[in-house]
Amino acid sequence: MSTPDIRAVCASALAPVLDGKGSLNALDSALESAGVEGRDRGLAKALCFGVCRTLPRLEALSKILLRQSFKRRDQDIQALLLLGLYQLLYMRVPPHAAVGETAGAARALGKGWATRVLNGCLRRFQRDTQALQAQVDRDPSIALLHPEWMLTRWREAWPDDWRELAEANNQPGPMTLRVNRRHVDRETYLARLRDAGLAADPTPYAPDGVTLQEACDVRALPGFSEGAVSVQDEAAQLTAPLLEPTLATTPGARVLDACSAPGGKTAHLLEAFDLELTALDSDAERLGRVDATLTRLGLEATTLAADASRLEWWDEQPFDAVLLDAPCSGTGVIRRHPDIKRLRRPSDIRELAALQARLLDTLWMTLAPGGTLLYATCSVMPEENVDQIAAFLARTPDASADELNVDWGRPAGAGRQLLPRIEGHDGFFYARLRKTTA
């Protein structure tokens, strides 16, 4: 079996992202189908994520370098050009290899005609690199590697923090673990990591969290296959502690995780409390990941493929607690999903806010009097967070918000907002709502 051309595989994976019709979520399966393994797999991921992370700048440079844009059917060639620029700007690949092997990858895509064009563009960039970079970086949105509309929204919402927010998005997130307290406590697991030669620190806010100083393959983590630990950002790990006042005092509580896939928060709740948990998700394929996670961790829940904005699935038995980790713009996790900068549109925010409102109204009906609904998003957009909860409280007479006495994030109306931090947590929003008993 011949060795796949890594750059050609990456270009094919990036082409639908550039076209706005695909995401990096499909990258793993694309690499597997192409037979990319081992170190080449790591290189391919670094290339694809890096291109998406720096896309505004790379695209601005490519517009200057090309006399004429490639046709839409040649998005894979455009992707090769971006891959070449990324290697020259941000990687330690020898320049002759970055140019020669990237241009040559056009042949592997059956488009040998593009080799000369790519060679010419990349060699011109090598000659004029300083001047070309200075030219595109005059635009602040390009220098900060974000779409202008996002930066405009953040300037309005976070006038003192928007630049830091964007800069955090431009750095890869750290690898953070959640220790399964049913197997081992955090201090003991930190010692196991040290014995394995893996340096790590406890997370400052999440009681079960550990952040590795360098990312590694999960297979290198002690006890991973036995369920001792899972990969999960610190911000996502704050869900279980926020439900502790309700769940720690109610063994066997009925709990609904309404948008549960891929299952990290589901598993954390089951690790922390004794529950009767129903995990719902509208995507049956993604729900399969919840089942796989629970199996690895030795946990049990009822999983249902159903739309949480409708109640056909509900047996009319109320829940003591509902977790609504709502579908959102993902603008708090851009560093882990940099293709969001390409795929998200301003109109998406309004549409997502309308969906979140429907989910809140519908799921509120499933909550028992005195019960708790925890609303969460991985967004930093006020429309999906502080404004969303304010509107819900205004139209829902039997709802009130708990004050969150925590040492993380910042007050945001009735909830709490975390902005992404370099080497720290992702961006998240939480609000804890209670149903009155009267």
Is 100 assigned to a binding site? Answer: no
Chain centre to alpha carbon of residue 134: 31
Query: Which burial class, exposed, middle or buried, applies to 381 when counting CB atoms under 10 A from its CB (0-12, 13-18, 19+)?
Result: buried
- The reported pTM is 0.94
Residue 111 annotated as binding site: no
CB-based burial, 59-93: b 16+ in 10 Å, e otherwise: bbbbeebeeeebeeebbbbbbbbbbbbbbbbbeeb
Query: With a cut of 70, which residues of the chain have pLDDT below it?
Result: 1, 438
- Taking residue 120's Cβ as centre, other Cβ atoms within 10 Å add up to 14
Q: 307 among the known binding-site residues? A: yes
Cα–Cα distance, 126 to 108 (Å, whole number): 24
Structure tokens at 429: 């929003």
pLDDT tens string 375-403: 999 999 999 999 999 999 999 999 999 99
Confidence (pLDDT) at 1: 56
The answer to whether 328 is a known ligand-binding residue is no
What is the four-CA torsion angle of 373, 376, 381, 384, rounded to 10 degrees? -40
Q: How far apart are CA 413 and CA 431, in angstroms?
A: 9
Strand, helix or coil for residue 224: coil
Q: H-helix or E-strand containing 370?
A: strand 367-377
Catalytically active residues, by annotation: 378
**Residue 54's closest CA among 115, 123, 142?**
142
209 is in an annotated binding site: no
Per-residue confidence (pLDDT) for residue 437, from 0 to 100: 80
281 appears as a binding residue in the annotation = yes
Q: Say if residue 259 carries a ligand binding annotation.
A: yes
Contact criterion met (CB below 8 Å) for 96 and 123: no
The response to whether 185 counts as a known ligand-binding position is no
Site of tokens 């929003």: 429
Give which of 123, 128, 146, 122 is closest to 54, Cα–Cα. 146
